[in-house]
Structure 1
Amino acid sequence: MSTPRRPFREFDDAYDAESLRLARRVIRGLTMSMRHIVLAPGSRSAPMAYALREAEELGAIAVHVRIDERSAAFTALGIALATKAPAGVVTTSGTATGNLLPAMMEADLSGIPLVAITADRPEELHGTGANQTTWQQGMFAGRVRDEIHLEQGEARLEPESRDDMLAAETQVGLLLRAATGTSPGPVHLNIGFRDPLVPAAPGQDRPSGVQRWARTPIVRRSRGTDSAEQLRAEIIGSEILDAGTETAPGLTEAVGPAAAPQPGESSDQVPNAPGAQGPAPVSADPALDAASDAASAAAGESPAEAAARFEAGLGTARTVFVMGADAPAEARELARRLGHPLLAEPSSDARWSDLGTIQGYRLILQAPEGSPAGILTDSVDRVVVAGRPTLTRPVQALINRSDVEAVQYAPGGEAWFDHRLARRVLPDLLALAQFARKAPPGWHDSWTERGLAAQRLIDAALTEQEALAQGELSSVRVAQFVAETVKTPLLLGSSSVIRDVDLAAVLNRTVLGARDDARRIYAMRGLSGIDGNLSAASGIALARSTRVTALVGDLTFLHDVNALLLPATEREPDLDIVVVNDSGGAIFDQLEHGAVGRREGQAEAVERFFGTPQTVDIEALADAYGHDYHFAEDLEALGEGLSGLEDRVGIRIIEVRTDRSVLRDFHARLRAAAADL
């Protein structure tokens, strides 16, 4: 006769309210891979709040409290963006859960492991008109990698064994694995809590103090002399690398630095003439290594000889690599080895000048037909897209040209990619190398030469614009200055700011006085919305334990002003917010709406419905929230506002005022100058 299996217990909290017991097991499941959680206050989510306080005291998780749920969600998204590890946001029931939707949408299309943990009314209260009750199960359907619902009273609290798959703790752990799988992204955990929602009152059966129930302890929260990199390694584990240093397995050793470029042909000729040094032999990732090894074994030659023979068999093609947001690092390394130019957006982590990226590429692509730059662009045979390019129409026009064969490199799949697009997906480097082929002699040099000429045109146009404006700064010049000189991680706001950096900035991975790991650029390009940008920057600062700079337009700043609202009990993120204040939406004037606004009788309507002018006193706003404020009337004052990093803590708002009415004419003059490229 067999006896029933007893529940397996690592700790005993049977004395407490069942809601608290469920919350503790949820948190144990979360802390298998989560180190940060952002909590917005609420009553139905109270069991999570009390249990999180215990877990934080035990060193199991860092808790951040925010008042506004939308800001809380984007703060968690920023943490996950910086660490590449899951970060959670906890809300109460009702409209609080709906406020998570924008961040969940962004996380979906950006592949960010954001975990929405929503408290819910128990099932018997649904459909009764109970306060703050709505149907929350499946509310993020189609945007999450997985979702589960735990109902108090039904969820198994005590596992029957260490690997009990039906226990609440194990289910939560499996949910997080879905967030960090081959296609990372958001997940949703909905929990139906029943009264009582508070811990049991102290009594004879309740142990004193906090019982050791939480999982692995993490780093202390106090600030010390440790570097941000050391702190981050302690928090998220040494196996998780910063995206700025990530490479595919075996790639760094096999690929190495690219050969220095040699002088090529005249820029006035179609780039196919001899004169440039060819790329080093291709070898990257196990697929390419296996191909070389097989060839070596078959022919009785050394691996180096086999690699050279493999490369020689690739043939040549005039290929360009378009590096969009979060482009895989191995794609840029392969482009360098094959000798192809990189057209890199700032958020691709491939824009750095020492990687050989092409400066001023947007101007090259806009050059008129028949000009040297136009001939260069027309000669492109193939395009490799890595990451998600979102910034410019000239890039999209290149990708969609009928005479150009384009592919998407997506080794883990892309959440945003629609397979109905004309370009096909290549999942590995071997297939990518065979598609891209080697560059013909002089191909990269021709792009580099045109890029340097384009950058000179851009810099000259900015100088001319400053003279016409009698010294008044333009938003493009401000963006260029900040991106080129800031010594901290940088978040670029959506809309005009990131496009200005893409157009004009020459980015170096190191600037004088900056740490080697500091030059990282972040942006939210999943849906490219202006909501949540400040909150995400705050999350990055909290995750990296370092000062971060956010460069945003005035509407982006005002749209997320609740990020400035911090409970007095909370650690304030170290954040410089540079606000380019042109009193409205500058981007629309550079689109077709700007032309409409110049038609007779249309200026007022376009300004009202698209420009949305505002007159907010940003200094007074900073004062109201209790944050430092600095006004920069010129670049020298802007540099002063960004200096002295070691002497500042907390949030500082740096305002720069510009005139958006001159931007359309500036860009028109710049496009006209492209005829000389």
Structure 2
Amino acid sequence: MSVAHRQCAWAQALLSELCRLGVQTAVIAPGSRHTPLVLAAHNLAAAGHLKLYDVLDERVAGFMALGLGRVSGSPTVVLTTSGSAGAHLLPAVIEADRSRVPLIAITADRPARLQGVGAPQTIDQRDLFGVHTRGDEHPTPLEPKEPAHRLAARVMERAQGDEPGPIHVNVPFEKPLWVEGADPLAPTELERASAARPPGPTLEDSTLQELARTLQSAERGLVVVGPGDPGHARGFYGARRDEQADAARRLAKVLRWPLIADGASPARLLGSDPDIVTSLESLVRSGELDEVHPEIILRVGQIATSTTIQGWLATRRSRTIPFDPSGRRQDPAGVCDAPVTADPATALQDLAERVQSRAHDTRWSLAWREAETLGRQALSELAETDEPWSGAVVRAVLERLPEGGLIHVASSLPVRDLDAFSGAPNRRLHVASNRGANGIDGLISTALGEALSWGSPVVCLIGDLAFTHDLGGLAAAREILDERSDASMTLVVLDNGGGAIFDALPIAEHPTAHEPRFVTPKGLEISGLASALGIEHRAVSGTRPEVSGALGEILEAPGLKILHVTLDRREDAARRAEAHDRVRAAVTAAQPWSEVSR
């Protein structure tokens, strides 16, 4: 059997077994050295076993694979050629690591004899992604040390294990990479392994009983749900988030504690439940919570999006008990107990069953409910005016998304605006965001992957700099979504002329460097760009009625659309300050915590 035949047979065996074990999708960046793998994926797609996407830019391919894996819960394979190509996957690999999203990065390599001798497109690709993977595999197709099916099983186990995440497989290939008849046909039948979700780590009954007694003893407590992908990777994203959110809400209700739900958490957009606190940013800024100290804070997920809320939680005279499925510390302030290692949804559900439900509201719960009611009302009144500002845009997007809809919210100001001003929509919605490393790179590409798996219209709320940063993702989204009648994504671009978040930092006082070096306005003509790429688009100001009306015209249509929202960043900042001032005035007048023991 020739070199090409042996390598193609090995690649077909590896990818066929990955598909059998649960891989549903692959993203291919073009090149030559990974030819055996590309042909194997091509044959599996032709046989109906694999969805395949071709993407020019490796960074775009990596983030798109991240979005696909996040929603589906099964690892997406991303294939690249040798040399610097694989290095472009690093930002997506880092986000997959921090967000615990399963991802299989397979990079082709030159054989060992070409390493270190000046061969083109050849670098040392061993451990290319450093500490950011769940492992690195270095198979040799021409001299395999184990069957391909065994390697595939180990790769899947690591990608979907107790801490899901990325894994790197680096494969050296010799020439010839293909000759006629070298690539075997994919199997016509593929008996897929059971996709049953493995149980997450659970707690001993004695530990649960002790925790239940601790929670039961505290009248003044908080359940805090932060950003982050919930629990284990397998299973549809929406179902995983629903499971965790419902468990957190149930435990908070039986304890009569408020549920503090970060804007990017699973627990925020659950409907108009009065005990879900959505206005904490404004409440903390009011000063009325300065001397309000819970006895216990139960925390799930990553730290709060808002630094204001982070600071308030870290300075309470409270015991803070964090839950994490793999025992990862999410505690930069160093105020938490050691993490309780357990699947959060399961643990919270088990605790809710063991805690005796309080028969009546307490002064504590009533004070928080009153404050939240006042906060929601004050923020809603401002959002419903004809003033153009980010809070009004957030409200318009959420009111237009259908039940069960998904919004991908970008880092920097968009995720903070959602957190501060979302309110409580009257139906259940879902949020996705890259809060692992919190970067602005690859956000259109990530949302594209999510939209291809979601099954209903997806909105990506993104700033103008993050939009500009991922123009490769924009081009890929236009090309891919043009061919799909069953997928829809609308980019709502908040164009405030650069990085407005830097206006709130001390560097804003610098006399010369602030604007050109930090705000970095780009002046991109978004409407002209959309026209050049053939993307349907609308341009509006940031008032709630105008944004809502434009979304109503384009949201449900298939394909890619852009809603370009122009905002004056200084006026926008003034509206944010006014929103917080309105909440401050309302709670200062009502004094909801005046009868709560502090």
Same fold at TM > 0.5:
yes
Larger radius of gyration: 1
TM-score by length of 1: 0.75
Q: 453-462 or 117-126: which moved more?
A: 453-462
Q: Letter of the aligned partner of 2:227 in structure 1?
A: A
Please give the per-residue CA displacement for 1:325-356, whole angstroms capped at 9, x wherever unaligned: 13561344322322211111122110124453
Q: For the residues of structure 2 that align with 1:35 and 1:424, how far apart are their CA atoms?
A: 37
> Once the 2 structures are TM-superposed, how far is the Cα of residue 622 of structure 1 from its aligned partner?
1.1
Instruction: Give secondary structure in 2 for the equivalent of 1:150.
Output: coil
Instruction: Give secondary structure in 1 for the equivalent of 2:217.
Output: coil
Alignment partner of 1:321 is 2:223? yes
Uncovered stretches (5+) of structure 2, i.e. residues with no partner: 232-243, 588-598
Q: For the residues of structure 1 that align with 2:379 and 2:425, how far apart are their CA atoms?
A: 18
Alignment partner of 1:547 is 2:457? yes
Match of 1:133 in 2: 122
Alignment partner of 1:456 is 2:371? no
Match of 1:184 in 2: 164
Kept in 2, the 8 Å contact 1:108–1:143? The answer is: yes
> Once the 2 structures are TM-superposed, how far is the Cα of residue 588 of structure 1 from its aligned partner?
1.3
> Once the 2 structures are TM-superposed, how far is the Cα of residue 188 of structure 1 from its aligned partner?
0.8
Q: For the residues of structure 1 that align with 2:324 and 2:93, how far apart are their CA atoms?
A: 22
Q: Letter of the aligned partner of 2:442 in structure 1?
A: G
Note closer, same or farther for the CA distance 1:14–1:331 as it changes in structure 2 (3 Å cut).
Answer: farther
Alignment partner of 1:486 is 2:475? no
Alignment partner of 1:443 is 2:351? no
The structure 1 residue matched to 2:501, chosen from 580, 584, 587, is 587
Please give the per-residue CA displacement for 1:104-127, whole angstroms capped at 9, x wherever unaligned: 111111111011111111111110
TM-score by length of 2: 0.84
Kept in 2, the 8 Å contact 1:319–1:436? The answer is: no
Match of 1:530 in 2: 440
Alignment partner of 1:384 is 2:298? yes
Note closer, same or farther for the CA distance 1:449–1:132 as it changes in structure 2 (3 Å cut).
Answer: same
Please give the per-residue CA displacement for 1:230-278, whole angstroms capped at 9, x wherever unaligned: xxxxxx987469xxxxx989xxxxxxxxxxxxxxxxxxxxxxxxxxxxx
Q: For the residues of structure 2 that align with 1:361 and 1:353, how far apart are their CA atoms?
A: 17
> Once the 2 structures are TM-superposed, how far is the Cα of residue 150 of structure 1 from its aligned partner?
1.1
Alignment partner of 1:578 is 2:492? yes
Uncovered stretches (5+) of structure 1, i.e. residues with no partner: 1-12, 157-165, 218-235, 242-246, 250-284, 296-306, 511-515
Match of 1:655 in 2: 564
Q: Letter of the aligned partner of 1:68 in structure 2?
A: D
Q: Letter of the aligned partner of 2:395 in structure 1?
A: Q
Q: For the residues of structure 1 that align with 2:330 and 2:107, how far apart are their CA atoms?
A: 25
Alignment partner of 1:212 is 2:187? yes
Note closer, same or farther for the CA distance 1:647–1:138 as it changes in structure 2 (3 Å cut).
Answer: closer
Q: Letter of the aligned partner of 2:284 in structure 1?
A: L
Instruction: Give secondary structure in 2 for the equivalent of 1:616.
Output: coil
Kept in 2, the 8 Å contact 1:314–1:434? The answer is: no
Q: For the residues of structure 1 that align with 2:114 and 2:501, how far apart are their CA atoms?
A: 47
Alignment partner of 1:500 is 2:417? yes
Match of 1:7 in 2: none
Q: Letter of the aligned partner of 1:117 in structure 2?
A: I
Q: For the residues of structure 2 that align with 1:656 and 1:551, how far apart are their CA atoms?
A: 10
Q: For the residues of structure 2 that align with 1:392 and 1:408, how far apart are their CA atoms?
A: 18
> What is the correspondence of 1:27-426 to structure 2 with a 5 Å cutoff?
27-31=15-19, 32-156=21-145, 166-198=146-178, 200-202=179-181, 210=185, 212=187, 215-216=190-191, 239=196, 314-326=216-228, 327=230, 329=244, 330-351=247-268, 352-355=270-273, 356-368=275-287, 371=288, 373-375=289-291, 378-401=292-315, 403-414=317-328, 422-426=336-340
Kept in 1, the 8 Å contact 2:135–2:167? The answer is: yes
Q: What fraction of aligned residue pairs are identical, expressed as a percent?
A: 27
Q: Letter of the aligned partner of 2:99 in structure 1?
A: S
> Once the 2 structures are TM-superposed, how far is the Cα of residue 15 of structure 1 from its aligned partner?
9.8
Note closer, same or farther for the CA distance 1:569–1:542 as it changes in structure 2 (3 Å cut).
Answer: closer
Kept in 1, the 8 Å contact 2:379–2:423? The answer is: no
> Once the 2 structures are TM-superposed, how far is the Cα of residue 414 of structure 1 from its aligned partner?
3.0
The structure 2 residue matched to 1:628, chosen from 525, 536, 541, is 536
Q: Letter of the aligned partner of 2:151 in structure 1?
A: Q
Instruction: Give secondary structure in 2 for the equivalent of 1:531.
Output: coil
> Once the 2 structures are TM-superposed, how far is the Cα of residue 536 of structure 1 from its aligned partner?
0.9
Instruction: Give secondary structure in 2 for the equivalent of 1:53.
Output: helix
Q: Letter of the aligned partner of 2:421 in structure 1?
A: A
Q: For the residues of structure 2 that align with 1:645 and 1:383, how far apart are their CA atoms?
A: 43
Kept in 2, the 8 Å contact 1:480–1:500? The answer is: no
Kept in 2, the 8 Å contact 1:39–1:63? The answer is: yes
Kept in 2, the 8 Å contact 1:317–1:436? The answer is: no
Alignment partner of 1:609 is 2:588? no
Q: Letter of the aligned partner of 2:449 in structure 1?
A: G
Q: Letter of the aligned partner of 1:560 in structure 2?
A: D
RMSD over equivalenced CA pairs, Å: 3.4
Q: Letter of the aligned partner of 2:226 in structure 1?
A: G
Aligned length: 554
Note closer, same or farther for the CA distance 1:349–1:99 as it changes in structure 2 (3 Å cut).
Answer: same
> Once the 2 structures are TM-superposed, how far is the Cα of residue 675 of structure 1 from its aligned partner?
5.2
Instruction: Give secondary structure in 1 for the equivalent of 2:371.
Output: helix
